[in-house]
Amino acid sequence: MKIKLELFGASRDFSNQDFIEFNIKKPISIKEFKNLILEFIEKNFKGNENYKKIVKGSVFCSEEDRIISDNYKITKDQRIGIIPPIGGG
């Protein structure tokens, strides 16, 4: 199945597009999906610690624009949004 990770805020630095596609063989939880994103960062950005912090501090949302927990299961082709924390000054 194909998961399209839509990038918002600081996570847009993860790609020159506004999304990253992952091909997954079996249903996974958001917690497991976060680990895949961290592996992607390790591989493509030499383990950039700032990018890892973005992933760890972000919330994720479903196609229905609802915040989803780490236990949420991705069971089909789906769009998932990553929403990093926003800092202000």
How many CA atoms lie less than 13 Å away from 9 in the CB half-sphere?
16
Q: Is the pLDDT of residue 89 over 70?
A: no
Domain 2-83 of CATH type 3.10.20.30: yes
Reported as a single tens digit per residue, the pLDDT across 49-81 is 999 999 999 999 999 999 999 999 999 999 999
Domain boundaries, the chain: 2-83
pTM of the model: 0.92
Q: Which residues sit opposite 23 in a β-bridge? A: 2
Residue ranges of the alpha helices (H) in the chain? 30-44, 49-57
Return all residues near 35 (Cβ < 8 A) that are at least 6 apart.
Answer: none
Return all residues near 8 (Cβ < 8 A) that are at least 6 apart.
Answer: 81, 82, 83, 84
23's tokens: 């091909």
Return all residues near 62 (Cβ < 8 A) that are at least 6 apart.
Answer: 68, 72, 78, 80, 81
Residue reference for tokens 């972000």: 58
